[in-house]
Structure 1
Amino acid sequence: MKTNNLPKASYKLAKIAVGGAVLVGLGLATMAYAQKEPLPTVEKVELDRYLGVWYEVARKPMSFQNKCDRDVTATYTLNENGNIKVDNRCITKNGEQTVSIGEAFVQNVPFNTKLKVSFLPEFIRWMPIGRGDYWVLKLDEDYQTVLVGEPHRKYMWVLSRTPQANPEVINEYLEYAKSLGYNLDDIIHTKQTAR
């Protein structure tokens, strides 16, 4: 009785192909697992110290910021209702200033490290829809530099109290973002003209 055996060379190639497929599959599964790892935040944010003006020094691309060319700022103030007013501004390529006013809602009082931000019209902001995550991932003890992100690692910002931040500090924050699983290939370094 004759059996149809694969030639030895074909059998070896088949084993290599299966082994390669298994390794690729394991690599993809490991990457997917790393992306599903919970995104750690800082332990606690003192909101009264966090309020005020922040200058954006780096970010991942985000559609609503496509028009921003330079001088991007975020100003946070406390509302009468206890939420945080968000006043985002930037200068476009045409030299015009754009302003977006929103509201941030703390999700984990008293730690204040996870917020939801809405830029919907004020009369419907109370509805829990159209809100984006704003998580504080790294913050120095003097509240001078902060890394903000969201759990899917798609968006991220590095903000500073000064428009001309120390490049070494910014690199430290970007490296930390990378260690959390952020892809920094498309990072934008924001132009700040104020001194």
Structure 2
Amino acid sequence: MNRKVLRTMGSAFALAAATLATVTAPGVVAHADPVTPVANLDVNRYLGTWYQLAAVPQYFNLVCARDTRADYTLDAQGDVVVHNSCTTWSGGPNDIQGTATIVDPATRAQLHVSFPGVPTQDARYGPANYIVTALGADYSWALVTDPNRLSGFVLSRTPALEPGEWDRVRAAITAAGENPCWYLTSPTTGGSETITPLCTA
């Protein structure tokens, strides 16, 4: 990884971390209301390939340099098979497979995602840790977070979104009680090639 990339990453992570720390400092409640899922998630329409276009930095995705994607299919029990993949900083592939189980039959938009062997995420069943809070027209993009709003993912059916769609994504992030500055854009072939806080992108 060259120094320019390291400097870009460092600046972007620093800004996102500083913003997150300011909002979630001891004694400060970022958002008191529970996370609201979409009213009705059509799981069959949600299946397929999603490209990660932005995300709140997490320890488990720091290995990914670009082209992070998720492929969702159904298993024999009706649960969602999750296959996450990306290209690492050394140019090699990285992937992991898990399972998502619906824990909210009313909306079907709150799921528990597990990955065998991953600390804190290896329990096959449990409370919701994946909440779909917004969807674009025709399921063209999705916004996902968790009950504590510590994670966040902007997913798209295509490697890029039009400016108007990005405006709707930022509005959805704010409506979900999060800050667009927490999200860093994810380099994607055919889309963004930079790592930039979403509030400045």
- Using the size of structure 1 for normalisation, the TM-score is 0.76
CA–CA distance in 2 between the matches of 1:171 and 1:57?
14
CA–CA distance in 2 between the matches of 1:186 and 1:84?
28
Which residue, 76, 91, 98 being the options, matches 1:80? 76
Q: Deviations over 1:121-168 (max 9, x none)?
A: 5xxx67436x76110100124011111111111101010000122233
Task: Return the offset for 1:183.
Answer: 2.8
Task: Return the offset for 1:186.
Answer: 3.4
Task: Return the offset for 1:179.
Answer: 3.0
Partner of 1:19: none
Which residue, 141, 149, 152 being the options, matches 2:148? 152
1:128 and 2:102 correspond: no
Note closer, same or farther for the CA distance 1:168–1:154 as it changes in structure 2 (3 Å cut): same
CA–CA distance in 1 between the matches of 2:68 and 2:179?
22
1:99 and 2:95 correspond: yes
Contact 1:71–1:194 at 8 Å: present in 2 too?
Answer: no
Note closer, same or farther for the CA distance 1:186–1:111 as it changes in structure 2 (3 Å cut): closer
Q: Which has the larger radius of gyration?
A: 1
Q: Deviations over 1:164-193 (max 9, x none)?
A: 222331232123212332133332101111
SS of equivalent residue, structure 2 residue 139 = coil
- Using the size of structure 2 for normalisation, the TM-score is 0.74
SS of equivalent residue, structure 1 residue 168 = helix
Q: Deviations over 1:39-96 (max 9, x none)?
A: 1111001111110000011110011000111001000000011110000000011101
Q: Which amino acid aligns with 1:36?
A: A
CA–CA distance in 1 between the matches of 2:36 and 2:106?
16
**CA RMSD for the aligned pairs?**
2.4
SS of equivalent residue, structure 1 residue 142 = helix
Contact 1:87–1:101 at 8 Å: present in 2 too?
Answer: yes
Count, aligned residues: 164
Q: Which amino acid aligns with 2:164?
A: E
Partner of 1:186: 182
Task: Return the offset for 1:110.
Answer: 4.8
1:66 and 2:57 correspond: no
Q: Which amino acid aligns with 2:165?
A: V
Where do residues 19-38 of structure 1 align in structure 2 (5 Å cutoff)? 32=29, 35-38=31-34
Contact 1:57–1:192 at 8 Å: present in 2 too?
Answer: yes
Note closer, same or farther for the CA distance 1:54–1:194 as it changes in structure 2 (3 Å cut): same
Which residue, 154, 172, 175 being the options, matches 2:171? 175
Q: Report the identity percentage.
A: 31
Listed as ranges, the gaps of 5+ residues in structure 1 are 1-27
Listed as ranges, the gaps of 5+ residues in structure 2 are 1-25, 192-201
